[in-house]
Structure 1
Amino acid sequence: MTTFRTYLKIFLSHRVYIAIYLVMLSLVGVIIGLSAYSGTTGEFQVAPANVAVIDRDGSELSAALAQHVLQGNNQVQVADEKRAIQDAVARDQVSYLLVIPEGWGEGLLDAARQGTQAPNLETYVSYYSGMGRLLDIEVTGYADGLYGMAATLGGSAADVIAATDDAWEGSTQVSMVKQAASPLPTSIVTAAEFASYPIFSSAMVCIAVLMSSVGRRPVRDRRLASPEPARARNLALLGACVVIALIAWAWNFALEVAVLGGSALASSPVQLALVGAALLVYALVSASIGFLAGQLGVSENAANALANILGMVMSFLGGAWTGLSLLPDELLAVAHFTPAYWVTLVVEGAAGMGEVSTATVLPLVGDLGVCALFGVAAVLVGLALGRDSVTGQRDSIAG
C-alpha cells in the first residue's frame, strides 16, 4: 500500500501534464459538443424555391401547370430572352425555370387522344442546390397527370385540370410511431467520440511519465533493494495506472454529463450508461497501453509524442474527426484493429437505440468486450516485460 501511495504522489506531482492533457483537452471536447447542441426542435417546413415560368402557350393547361409550379414558391420575373434565361440560371437567381412552348396544351390533349408522346417542356435547373431538381420531378409528375387524365377521362381542358388537381391533392393516412426509448442528444455523442483523444493521451502520458520517474536509477535501486516482492510492486504500479485511468474517465464523462447530458439522465439513462461504460473501457485500455510503454522504458519526451500521435490516429480511425461512414474501405479495415473503433460503435449504437432490450444491448456489450481485449493483451505483455526486466536487473546487481 505504501508503494501504491508513492506512485500516486509521483503522478500528482506532474501538474502540468494533468492541466494540459486532462483538463484542457477535455474542455475542448465539451466545446465541440456545445457547437453541435440544438436546444429546440422546430416544426418541419418546406423551404420555398425561387422559380420562374415563361408561358408561351397561354392555354388553360399551361396556366394550370404554371400555377402548380408557383404555388408555395417565390416567383421571379425573367424576360423571355435566351440571354436573360441563361443569366438567371447561371447567377442562381432562380432554382428552377420552366418554359412552356407554344401549342403545348393543345398538343398534350391531341397526344392523349391518339396515344402518342406528349410534347416536351423546356426546363432549366440551377446546379447550386437540389431544390430545382426536386421541383422538376414534381412538374413532370403533374404534367404526366394531365396527360393521363386526358387519355382516360377525356373531356375539356377544365375537366382534365379539375381531375388532376383532385388526384394530386389526395392524401394518405399516416400515423406517428413513437420510439420506445429517446435517442441521446447529438452534443453528448459528439463530445463522447472526441473524448477518445483526451482520455487516451492523458492516461498514456501520465502513466508513461510516472513509470519513467519510477525507472530512474536511484528510485529503481531503492525498489530493488526493498523486501517487497516484484509481483507486489508490479501490481501496485498497475493499480496506480488503473486509478489514473479512472480519474481521466470520471473527469471527462462527468464533465460531458454535467454540461451536455442533463436531459439524457432522465430520458435515456441506459443509453447514457452504455456511453459511460464505453469510455470507461477505453480509459482502462489507454492505461494498459501506457503501462506497456512504461515497461518498454519510453522516455518522457517519447511518451508525449506517442500519446499525441497514437491518440490522434486512434481517435481519427474511431470516427471522432469524421464519421465512420466517410472513411474509405481500406482505412475502415484498419480501424477494426484499434480500440477506438469499437468504442465508437458502442457510442453510436447507444445514441440511436430506439428500444432498450436485451437484443439491442448485448451486441454493444460484445463490442465492449472486443475493446477490452486490447487492454488485456497490453497488460499481459507489460507484466511479462516487467518480470524479465526485474530479473535481469537483479542478476546484474548480483554479478
Structure 2
Amino acid sequence: MPVLKTAIRLVAEHRVLFAVYVLLFSVVGSFAAGSVGPASASYEAARPVVAVIDRDDSALSRALTDHLARASDMVDVADSTRALQEAAAKNYADYVLVIPEGYGEALVAAARADADAPDLECVVSYLSANGSLMNERVHGYVQELYAMAAASPSASADELIARVDAAQETGVAVETVDTASPGLPVTYLVYCQFALYALFGGIAAIVGVGLADLRSPEVRQRIGAAPVASTAFDAQIAGAIAVCGIAVWAINAAVGVALYAGELARVPVALTALMLVILFALMLVGMAFGFLIWQIGVRRELVHAIANISAMIISFLAGTWVPLANMSEEVLAVARFAPGAWAVSAMEQLVRATGVTGELVASVLGHVGIVVLFALAIAAAGLAVGRARRAIA
C-alpha cells in the first residue's frame, strides 16, 4: 500500500504541528479549567457596586433604591451626563440606575390602566455579569409592584411596597442532597470543551498541510509508477487521515485523564468513557474536514487560516467561549447546524449526571450520532470534490 505509507510518512514529518495543535491546546484547556476553581461547600452572595440617581423621589422610587441597597454596595454618582459617562468608562459602578421624574405615579397608573410600564434608564458595566444580574433584580421588583398595583386598585403606594417586601422575604427553601457518587468535574468539562479546537482545527491543519505534498509532481510521479484505482487511493488517504486523527484524539484524551485522574477516580468509569466517545466523534468531524480541505487542493499557506477560523467558529457556536444560554435565539438556531453544539450538549448531560442510566446513555449516543452524521456529510463532500477534480483533469 504505497499511498498509505507515503501519506503517513508525510503527515509524520510535520510532528511540530502535533505539538502546537495538540499539546499546546491541551495546556490552554487545562489553564481554562483551572480558572473555574474548586467547588465550594459554602455560598456567599456577591455584592455588586450600584449607584442610583433618583429624579422622582417618590415612595416607590425610594423603595426600589432600598431594595437595591440590601443586595449591593451603594456609591454616589452625580446626576450629570459627564458623571454618567465616567461611571461607565471608568467602571465606578457595576450598575447605575436612573429613575425618571414621575416614575412612581406613572407605574401605578399604567398597572391600573393595563398599559405598558414606563421605562427605567440604566448603565450596565461591560466588565462582569453583576450589572446585568442587578438589572434583572430591578425588573423583577418593578414587575411585582406592577402586579400588586393592578390587583389592588385602591391600595396606596406604602401598602403596595409593604406587600412586595413581604413577598420578597418569603424566599425559597433549599435543601442539599448528597449523592452516592459525584458526577464528572466541571474542570474536566471545560478541558474537553477546549479540546474541540484541537480535534477539529488541529486535525484539519495537520492533515491539510501534511498531505499537501501528495500533490507535488515528484510524489505524484512516484505514485503513478504503481497505478492505483481512485477508490483504493481515497481509501488509503482516509487510512492515513484516520491514523493522524486517532493519534491526536489519544494524546488529548490521555492528557485530560492524567490531569484530572484524582477527580475522575471517584466518578463511574462509564461516564468518563462516554466523554471520550464524544471526543472521538468530534475527531471524526476534524478528519472529515481535513479530508475536504485536501481534496479542494487548498494551498499550504491557507490551510492554517481556514482550519483556525473554522475551529473558532465551531467553538463559539458550541458555547466554549460564551455559554449558549447567554446567546440570542438567532445564534442558537445557527448553532444547531454545527457539530460542536451537539457535542457540548452531550458533555453537559454527563456533568449533570451522578450515575449511568439507560436514558442518559441513549441521549448522549443520540447526540454523538448527530455529530457523526456531520462527519459523514463533510466526508461525502470531500469525495465529491475529489471525483470532480479527477474528472476535470
TM-score for both structures, normalised by structure 1? 0.64
SS class of match (1:370): helix
Aligned residues: 290
Asked if the contact 1:4–1:237 (Cα under 8 Å) also holds between the matched residues in 2, the reply is: yes
Q: Residue type matched to 1:245 in 2?
A: G
Q: 2:41 is matched with which residue?
A: 42
Deviation at 1:259, TM superposition (A): 0.7
Q: Within the alignment, does 1:384 sit opposite 2:355 as a pair? A: no
Deviations 1:104-132 (A, max 9, x none): xxxxxxxxxxxxxxxxxxxxxxx9997xx
Deviation at 1:285, TM superposition (A): 0.8
Q: State the distance in 2 between where 1:379 and 1:173 align.
A: 52
Deviations 1:287-338 (A, max 9, x none): 1011011001111111111011000010011011011101111111101111
CA separation of 1:336/1:175 partners in 2, compared to 1, >3 Å: closer, same or farther? closer
Q: State the distance in 1 between where 2:321 and 2:45 align.
A: 31
Asked if the contact 1:208–1:294 (Cα under 8 Å) also holds between the matched residues in 2, the reply is: yes
Q: 1:319 is matched with which residue?
A: 319
Q: Within the alignment, does 1:293 sit opposite 2:293 as a pair? A: yes
Counting only pairs closer than 5 Å after superposition, residues 1-399 of structure 1 correspond to structure 2 as: 1-38=1-38, 41-44=40-43, 176-179=176-179, 181-393=181-393
CA separation of 1:285/1:335 partners in 2, compared to 1, >3 Å: closer, same or farther? same
Asked if the contact 1:196–1:315 (Cα under 8 Å) also holds between the matched residues in 2, the reply is: yes
Q: Residue type matched to 1:194 in 2?
A: F
Asked if the contact 1:30–1:191 (Cα under 8 Å) also holds between the matched residues in 2, the reply is: yes
Deviation at 1:242, TM superposition (A): 1.1
CA separation of 1:223/1:360 partners in 2, compared to 1, >3 Å: closer, same or farther? same
Deviation at 1:205, TM superposition (A): 0.6
Q: Which structure has the bigger radius of gyration?
A: 1
Asked if the contact 1:274–1:346 (Cα under 8 Å) also holds between the matched residues in 2, the reply is: no
Show structure 1 runs of 4+ deviating over 6 A: 45-49, 127-130, 172-175
Q: State the distance in 2 between where 1:259 and 1:301 align.
A: 34
Q: Residue type matched to 1:190 in 2?
A: V
Deviations 1:118-165 (A, max 9, x none): xxxxxxxxx9997xx89xx9xxxxxxxxxxxxxxxxxxxxxxxxxxxx
Q: State the distance in 1 between where 2:391 and 2:218 align.
A: 18
Q: State the distance in 1 between where 2:198 and 2:26 align.
A: 6
Q: 1:62 is matched with which residue?
A: none
Q: State the distance in 2 between where 1:289 and 1:270 align.
A: 29
Structure 2: unaligned runs, 5 residues or longer: 49-91, 94-123, 125-129, 142-171
Q: Residue type matched to 2:41 in 1?
A: G
Structure 1: unaligned runs, 5 residues or longer: 50-90, 93-126, 138-171, 394-399
CA separation of 1:218/1:47 partners in 2, compared to 1, >3 Å: closer, same or farther? closer
Asked if the contact 1:265–1:272 (Cα under 8 Å) also holds between the matched residues in 2, the reply is: no
Q: Residue type matched to 1:289 in 2?
A: F
Asked if the contact 2:3–2:223 (Cα under 8 Å) also holds between the matched residues in 1, the reply is: no
Q: State the distance in 2 between where 1:240 and 1:220 align.
A: 17
Q: 2:117 is matched with which residue?
A: none
Deviation at 1:48, TM superposition (A): 11
TM-score for both structures, normalised by structure 2? 0.65
Q: 1:120 is matched with which residue?
A: none
Asked if the contact 2:10–2:211 (Cα under 8 Å) also holds between the matched residues in 1, the reply is: no
Deviation at 1:178, TM superposition (A): 3.2
User: What is the alpha-carbon root mean square deviation over aligned residues?
Assistant: 3.6
- Of stretches 228-237 and 308-317 in structure 1, the one that deviates more from structure 2 is 228-237
Asked if the contact 1:278–1:343 (Cα under 8 Å) also holds between the matched residues in 2, the reply is: yes
Q: State the distance in 1 between where 2:298 and 2:243 align.
A: 21
Q: State the distance in 1 between where 2:294 and 2:349 align.
A: 34
Percent identical across equivalent pairs? 29
CA separation of 1:261/1:345 partners in 2, compared to 1, >3 Å: closer, same or farther? farther
CA separation of 1:226/1:350 partners in 2, compared to 1, >3 Å: closer, same or farther? same
Q: Residue type matched to 1:193 in 2?
A: Q
